[in-house]
Amino acid sequence: MNFRRLGILIASVFTVAVLGVVVTHGQMGPRHYDPSTETTVQGSVTAVNTVTGMRRWTGLHLTVQSADQKYDVHVGPSTYVDSSGFKFAEGDQVEVVGSKVDVNGAPALIAREIRKDGKVLSLRDKQGFPLWSGGRRMAQ
């Protein structure tokens, strides 16, 4: 291997490592769920969005308008929500229990559970570990 190829290889590994740190800090997950900021918000769903993340997973986000605030609600993987039988649409009235966070200067909630039509969609345990990944066992 010549020095130029070695230099390119080292630069590539460094770039991937730096991007991994940046992306990890930008993701919402159990490391960002703070039970001390947990709140309950009631409101109307104004948008249902599917986002694509790393490794091609898709996640569900809801925009929920409460009486005084609009929230980006980070629900969880689309496959988990679909397998639970829950469907969300604009106009749905929901109650979200979640950790209040700030994402790019806007209020957001990492949902722990969502109530709709008398049913509960459980997403995380009380410490914020996702139920779709085996809870604590998978998060450690």
Residue 11 pLDDT more than 80?
no
**At 100, which CATH number?**
2.40.50.140
**CA separation for the pair 135, 140 (Å, rounded):** 9
**CA separation for the pair 113, 122 (Å, rounded):** 5
**24 found inside a domain:** no
**97 found inside a domain:** yes
Q: For residue 115, give its domain range.
A: 35-139
**105 found inside a domain:** yes
pLDDT digits (tens, 9 = 90+) for 110-124: 999 999 999 999 999
Q: Nearest 5°: phi and psi at 11? A: -60, -40
Q: CB-based contacts of 74: which residues, under 8 Å, 6+ apart?
A: 28, 59, 61, 98, 108, 109, 110, 111
- 70-77 and 58-65 strand pairing: antiparallel
**CA separation for the pair 86, 74 (Å, rounded):** 15
pLDDT digits (tens, 9 = 90+) for 25-74: 334 444 589 999 999 999 999 999 999 877 788 999 999 999 999 999 99
**40 found inside a domain:** yes
**15 found inside a domain:** no
Chain centroid, CA 6 distance in Å: 38
Number of domains in the chain: 1
**93 found inside a domain:** yes
Four-CA torsion 41, 90, 132, 36, nearest 10 degrees = -10
